[in-house]
Structure 1
Amino acid sequence: MDERFKLCRKLGFRDAAHAHKIILEGAHKIPEWLISKGLNAASLANLGYDGDAMRHLGYKDTALQKLGFRIAKEVHKSPPAAPSSALPPEHAPIEGGITATLKDLIQRGCHAGELKQRGITIPHCRAAGIDARVLARLGYALHELAGVYSLAELKKTGFNPRELSRHFKGSELRDAGFSAAEMRCAGFCVRDLINFGFNENQIIGAGYSVNELLREGLSRFTRDLRKLQY
């Protein structure tokens, strides 16, 4: 399970999307409100939110200082820009609003590796309104996206239940709308589906063999069906 997802659960958030919603809400409250929820500079950094990302979400430097960010160091941490003659446009540092910059970089065909080299994080992308499907196409891996985007958003990218199960519970996959048949095709057995909360009718209709169903005690209907085969 992704470390950021584990941290979200430890802090009492359902997932990264829930944490992001709280962080957005915190921009309009006093810093102590965010701290009371376990979100300070250290935990925010572990979730992928550095000082710049927080500023883009609307946080002022005074609030960031109370959260534990060291503003002076962050402001001066970037090395001097290289001369323009040695820095072609495709490698120029980020300037201006990050939303406009991100959209421009994506339109220019920058892939995940290039965005990372520029210091752009997935929370930056999420804050800028970039869809998870776009980031997946750019080359970001599921384990990177799962710490920031919700299961519903990741489902839309085309990740299958088996891949998503490394980051989300089976019951969450069921609640996200994956059918019993999809779960079977992804490699889950009858017992898995029972544990995930699928009912007997859903499991019987998922396409498992009679023997697989009988092995788990499903059901009188299944036993009767087997008798008809002989």
Structure 2
Amino acid sequence: MPVPRLYVPHPLAEGQPLDLPAGAARHVQVLRLQPGAPLRLFNGEGIEFDATVVRMGRSDVAVLVGAGEAVERELPLAVTLALGMPANDRMDALVEKATELGVAAIQPLLCERSVLRLAGERADKRREHWQGIAVAAAEQCGRTRVPVIEPVQDIARWLAGGPAAGGMRWLLSLGEPLPALATMAVAPAAVCVLSGPEGGLTPREEALAHTAGFQPVSLGPRVLRADTAPLAVLAWLGVGCGR
């Protein structure tokens, strides 16, 4: 069995005894690991630490942190996906796959045509849920940094606030004619990609995006689903940037 990788949102150092946080401890217990079993720990700062289970309690797990190693598995540019949230479990799957493909941050947006409508405490709970999915995906795929899931925002308010300062801004659009994404040069250290919900962005929302500096681009002649288009961009960037 591969050595389990666990995210621990605390400072880590060689020789440190550590009680695992609740989520990581449950993971170890589900795997039925025993004292002496090896682990790999990371805290989102780009370093993996060897660790060894030293005690298994009923609801707690103690480990001893070993040597750390700098591990870099990120894309060479920071990609933010700003997207109209797809409905049902599609947003869950999108967060998982985007994490695997190397996204740096995800900005969930409430758009005029959004099927999924979130606000207040419900929005906060969903964000926490999506952050947990990102953590689990980072553990599974070998990343040592966890994407940030930003608070849900109304798209007009988000655009007015000056999103993703620096880097390029791309707007996935069905308008014609548009430059194909495959023809775009990718030189900056950061890219923000804006993608609409089911039914796409409205003309008003696209106009606001243009004003905010987003350049319309096309993914080609086929119409992709709201949960497919952002992942297609990430996959293209990963191949084009060599990771």
TM-score range (shorter-chain normalised) is under 0.3
TM-score after normalising by structure 1: 0.26
Higher percent of residues as helix: 1
Question: RCO higher in 1 or 2 (8 Å CA, sep ≥ 6)?
Answer: 2
